[in-house]
Chains A and B, each alone.
Chain A
Amino acid sequence: MATKTIRVDYLTRVEGEGALDLEISEGRVTAAQLRIFEPPRFFEALLRGRGYTETPDIVARICGICPIAYQMSAVHAIENAFGVKVEGQLRALRRLIYCGEWIESHALHVIMLHAPDFLGFPDAIQMAREHGDLVRGGLAMKKAGNELMRVLGGREVHPVNVKVGGFYRAPSRAELAPVAESLARAHEIAVGLARRVSAFSFPQFERDYEFVALRHPHEYPFNEGRLVSNRDIDIEIADYETEFEERQVAHSTALHSMLKRRGAYLVGPLARYALNFDRLPASVQTLAHECGLGTVCRNPFKSIIVRALEIVYACEEALRLIGAYEPPALAAVPVTPRAATGFGCTEAPRGFCWHRYEFDAEGTIRTVRIVPPTSQNQPSIEADLAALATTILDQPEQFIRDRCEQAIRNHDPCISCATHFLALSMRRT
């Protein structure tokens, strides 16, 4: 039997530019490639020589969908380098703005990018004609997340208020009160959404992933914790480079991140959920069981349920933080630069985002390395595609193509983020 290639030249409903190639030979999938052709922007190069105070503003521009993830990993890494601790209400405000990003990003993905696959529409606009309540509810949740970003950050995309040491200005309780009302409504919508998406029809497909995520002693993770896996990883974030490495491949302008000892691994909602189920409040655990999930979910198509549950969690957590909020005396703690290297790792909506910065005595960047979630997931996405395509080879080509595109969307890849990152570490010996 001849070799056949199935190709999707421009992936839709993903953030950024990518394509898909499947090679089938002798009735077997011989290659599955997520091709990333988004032009590189060289952030790790252009950051050299820049100051620490402008770094949160610059790294935000890596991704318009998850700028807070880049700002948070950066400020934590910089504070780690300079020996600064940000605690109390300032720490709580950082958690709060991250809730906003999870809500807006997950709502965008669940309703506008992913749900149309399950309900058979090319986009949310056409889906709205038959499922108007679902789309309007999704937009209302997204708006609540964006409102939180706007009040705390100044604007939704590339917020201006995040600063090394804290914030430029801390909000008043009065500013947060109307946001709490929107979040309470969003919470109600999200609970209904989780139940609704759990009733979608899911392909019977599971994979034995190695999940990797942050884990914190008490909290479902945003900004802090150790990196752990469901196998034997349990390390400080500073030790990331001892277990993980990035490799460059010809078909992608994004680096592929691998576990040195085992290869592909998965980050994102499925990993956070499996490794931190016991850190979710009882209300969300109960809802998860009502939605038919156990404490681990290995079916990537069901990531839509886990994202909906994380919206519920982020709304609950945001409401808790707002309820306990007292404006701090100072919006930021003092920061004095020094020659040092610092590490930061936080949970972006689509998985953890790891940063390392090396500074000179004045706080100017000498070298930087940034590992975004999508370059970590790219090998697992390709493994999903190979495994999935093998089970549907007897189907019409259009079906295979659509199902494979859906399988890529399962992991909410952010291609704009992933591109540009290749490793300074590979240059070193």
Chain B
Amino acid sequence: MSARTRPRLAVWKFASCDGCQLSLLDCEDEFLTLAGAVQITNFPEASSAVEAGPYDLSLVEGSITTAHDAERIRAVREQSKHLITIGACATAGGIQALRNFADINDFIAAVYASPEYITTLATSTPISAHVPVDLELRGCPINKAQLIEVIAAYLAGRKPAIGAHSVCIECKQRGCVCVMVQGVPCLGPVTHAGCGAICPAYRRGCYGCYGPMESPNTAALAREWQALGATPRDLQRVFRSFNAAAKPFSTESAAHGD
């Protein structure tokens, strides 16, 4: 394809750890092929050649935590035909959304000696709270095979094959023995698929880094956890982590506590 017809790809960063955009560079075998199928026009972490918009496809990492970033995401949306959020920060607010459950001034004072230099919002919010989003890819971090799938689907003009079922299905597909029946509390039954059930394969319970699946029964799972000895504090902590601000998890976490 000539440069003229290849879609223009942009990658944007908001409050995040860089891990999801790194997943693009971690596609070692596919990276050069991908770079040949699109024009990478804005990907500052990987290239100094930064071009102005408009862009055909924008991948957005990170959550909105400053007034400046709330403005910036609107400008990104205006310049982007298709916008995909990548990861738990962009899709649910990320671990930094724990501030939503606390007093931001206490958070700033705990970390910075001169709070007046710091400008930040009291909340960390997902991209969809600010602009329309065409597709949300979950995970902390995203699965790079799913990233390739959504880009390939975009290029082919088809719907990406991304399931919204729970981690339990992937766990069975991987052939793992259920850790809950061995007495290990697991969030797999209420967590969105996509990781490939990594934690059970490593003999630990899922900790929910892909966020809630489409119809999670968190209350029933919380009762199972209690039967295995989990305290209210354990339950509040586990629902209040990398996807704390996702509605089903924030509601469930509020039902437990010290």
Contacts and interface: CB of A to CB of B under 8 A. Distances in A.
Interface string B119-131: 0100000000000
A125 B27 CA distance: 13
Nearest to B112: A422
A13 B48 contact: yes
Given A42-B96, A46-B99, A143-B29, A160 B17 contact: no
A51 B237 contact: yes
Given A46-B96, A155-B198, A13 B47 contact: yes
A335 interface: no
Interface stretch (B101-109, B157-165, B211-219): B101-109
Contacts of A124: 46
Interface residues of B, number: 64
Contact of B22 (A65, A160, A248): A65
B85 interface: no
Interface stretch (A56-64, A211-219, A300-308): A56-64
B245 interface: no
A126 interface: yes
A176 interface: no
Nearest to B113: A426
A157 B50 CA distance: 26
A184 B130 CA distance: 49
Given A39-B69, A248-B112, A157 B141 contact: yes
B134 interface: no
Given A139-B31, A157-B23, A248-B114, A62 B17 contact: yes
Interface of A is mostly: loop
B198 A156 contact: no
A66 to B, nearest CB: 10
B202 A160 contact: yes
Contact of B202 (A113, A128, A161): A161
Interface stretch (A14-22, A84-92, A319-327): A14-22
Nearest to A37: B68
Interface in A336-353: none
B48 A122 contact: yes
B46 A45 contact: no
Interface string A392-423: 00000000000001000000001010001111
Contact of A157 (B22, B29, B45, B98): B22
Given A12-B48, A51-B237, A64-B20, A154 B198 contact: yes
What are the 3 closest A-B residue pairs judged by CB atoms, nearest first? A64-B19, A123-B47, A122-B49
Given A45-B99, A125-B46, A158-B141, 6 more contacts: A15-B18, A42-B99, A54-B207, A64-B21, A116-B48, A146-B26
7 contacts: A122-B48, A125-B46, A158-B141, A158-B209, A160-B202, A168-B204, A426-B113
